Amino acid sequence: MPSLEEQLVALKSQAPADFTAATDPDSLEAVRVKYLGRQGSLPDLMKQLGSALPADRARLGKLANEAKIAVQSAFEQRKDDLENANAGADAARFDTTLPGRMRPVGRLHPLTQTMERVVAIFQRIGFTIAEGPEIEDEWHCFDALNTPGDHPARDLQDTLYLKDGRLLRTQTSTVQIRVMETHKPPIRIIAPGRVFRRDEVDATHSACFHQIEGLYVAEGVSVADLKGTMEFFFRELLGPETKTRFRPHFFPYTEPSFEIDFSATSLGLKGRKWLEIAGCGMVDPNVFKAVGYDPEKFTGFAFGMGVERIAMILHGIDDIRLFYENDVRFLHQF
Ligand code: DAH
């Protein structure tokens, strides 16, 4: 029977070779049990250490310790190697020729797209974006816009009022007032935004929709500037063949006022030659007075149009409700 010393030396050299020979988790586990298990050779030799002669104890103890470290590190090393090899095999099994998993790409809502298109055209000719609050007061939505207290637009039937007397703005014309109250001419702004009306919802009406307002104030601005700007805009938006027509109309905040119709052969207008698209006019002197501008010195034009209406015309959409249902089958077409 070999001495304890011989056994320890043998263990120290044999164990690493045995661990290296293990090629899968099961055989590795078998080798681990053989050396490190409760009945394994290492604990067994450790036990024998207790009955060694006192004179040999220190030398044998040191040797036993070295054997233990050798066995344990051989095991850890082999375990790591096998795990890494496994990961490598997984990667090798990954089939790079399989089709990838589609991640649907999002896009801007058609109303946002339309708004950005309109705004970009005006930015090219020097207009800057202005914004105002959706919750407004009567001053900015009506009074300052020369809209008298008995005007039907102010009716409870048409405007959504809050309990405190404020209201949800019914038009983006409010932004004109806010900008003029805080800035001096010259002013050239384009104001896209959400507006609210107490409307029955149907194919062409929504209680919440979007408008784009424009305002240009300086010295010597004329109706010719208004017409030139609008004609340029609609040709840019709807194509170079587009014709525009100005019909006299009434808005409280402009004088004279017009409705703009357009005609474009490129768009299917359902047999109609002219389609109404925007309101506009020369800013009423009373509006200038309300914001503290001198109407003798400054003139200007303003205009407003509905974003939904433009998007519907551009894309041939016949029901406004489609914009708000967020059905991706509809939305992914734009
Ligand atoms: N505020 C009008 C509306 O809601 C649109 C409009 C018309 C705006 C004429 C204007 C304007 O600035 O001059 O229908």
DSSP 75-143: HHHHHHHHHHHHHHHHHHH--TTSPPPP-PPP---HHHHHHHHHHHHHHHTT-EE----SEE-HHHHTG
| CA 305 to ligand 1: nearest atom | 5
> Which ligand 1 atom sits closest to the C-alpha of 301?
13
Where are the domains positioned within the chain?
4-93, 110-331
Q: Which long-range contacts (CB under 8 A, 24 or more apart) does 247-252 make?
A: 249/279, 249/281, 251/279, 251/281, 252/145, 252/146, 252/147, 252/148, 252/151, 252/284
Give the Å distance between the CA of 273 and the centre of ligand 1. 23
How far does the centroid of ligand 1 lie from the alpha carbon of residue 174, in Å? 10
Ligand 1 pocket, 284 CB below 6 A? no
CA torsion through residues 125, 131, 330, 206, sign: negative
* Ligand 1 atom, smallest distance to 172 CA: 1
Measure the CA–CA gap between 334 and 330, rounded to whole angstroms.
8
Classified as helix, coil or strand, 258 is strand
pLDDT score, position 122: 98
CB neighbour list of residue 47: distance below 8 Å, 6 or more residues apart: none
**Encoded amino acid at 8, one letter:** L
Q: Is the CB–ligand 1 distance for residue 304 below 6 Å?
A: yes
Task: Determine the residue type at 253.
Answer: Y
Report yes or no: 122 and 216 within 8 Å, Cβ to Cβ. Answer: no
List the residue whose alpha carbon is closest to atom 8 of ligand 1: 304
Q: Strand, helix or coil at 28?
A: helix
Average pLDDT, the chain: 92
Residue of 147, 204, 251 to mutate, ligand 1, most atoms within 8 A of C-beta: 251
Rounded to an integer, what distance in angstroms lies between the CA atom of residue 145 and that of residue 148? 9
The CATH number assigned to the domain with range 110-331 reads 3.30.930.10
For ligand 1, whether the C-beta of 279 sits within 6 Å is yes
Q: Is the CB of 147 under 6 A from ligand 1?
A: no
Pairing of strands 128-129, 187-196: parallel
Q: What percent of the chain has pLDDT over 90?
A: 62
Question: DSSP state, 202?
Answer: B
Q: Which pLDDT does position 54 carry in this prediction?
A: 85
Residue at 102: amino acid letter: M
Nearest residue CA, atom 5 of ligand 1? Answer: 304
Asked whether 280 lines ligand 1 (CB < 6 A), one says yes
User: Do β-strands 254-263 and 275-283 pair in parallel, antiparallel, or remain unpaired?
Assistant: antiparallel
What pLDDT is attached to residue 271? 67
**Closest to 132 (Cα-Cα) out of 168, 185, 186:** 168
Spatial CA neighbour of 240 closest among 271, 273, 212, 264: 264
Cβ partners under 8 Å of residue 236, min gap 6: 121
Ligand 1 close to Cβ of residue 246 (< 6 A): no
Q: What are phi and psi of 292, to 5 degrees?
A: 85, 20
- Given a cut of 80, whether residue 268 has pLDDT beyond it is no
Element (H, E) at 54: helix 54-93
Distance from C-alpha of 154 to C-alpha of 160, rounded to nearest angstrom: 9
Which amino acid is located at 283 in the chain?
V
Q: Is 252 in the pocket of ligand 1 (CB under 6 A)?
A: no
Q: What is the pLDDT of residues 64-86, one digit of tens each?
A: 898 889 889 989 999 898 888 88
- Does the C-beta of 171 come closer than 6 Å to ligand 1? yes
Residue 184, amino acid: K
Query: 142 in ligand 1 pocket by Cβ < 6 Å?
Result: no
How many A from CA of 279 to the centre of ligand 1?
A: 5
Report the predicted TM-score, pTM, of the whole model to 2 decimal places. 0.71
Confidence band of 218 (pLDDT split at 50, 70, 90): very high
For residue 258, give Cα distances in angstroms to 25, 54, 101, 209.
86, 116, 54, 22
Q: Which residue in the block uniquely carries the two structure tokens 């078998």?
A: 30
Residue 254 CB–ligand 1 contact under 6 Å: yes
* pLDDT tier at 291, thresholds 50, 70, 90: very high
Residues 21-33 have a mean pLDDT of 90
* Alpha-carbon gap, residue 298 to 295, rounded angstroms: 5
Task: Show the tokens assigned to 321.
Answer: 């409700």
Predicted confidence band at 269 (pLDDT cuts at 50, 70, 90)? Answer: low
Q: What is the pLDDT of residues 87-145, one digit of tens each?
A: 877 777 888 888 888 888 889 999 999 999 999 999 999 999 999 999 999 999 999 99
Query: Is residue 173 in contact with ligand 1, taking CB distance under 6 Å?
Result: yes
Probe target for ligand 1 pocket from 280, 288, 291, with the most ligand atoms within 8 Å of CB:
280
Q: Is the pLDDT of residue 46 over 90?
A: no
- Span 19-47, average pLDDT: 89
Top mutation candidate among 145, 225, 303 for ligand 1, by most atoms within 8 Å of CB = 303
Residue nearest to atom 6 of ligand 1 (CA): 304
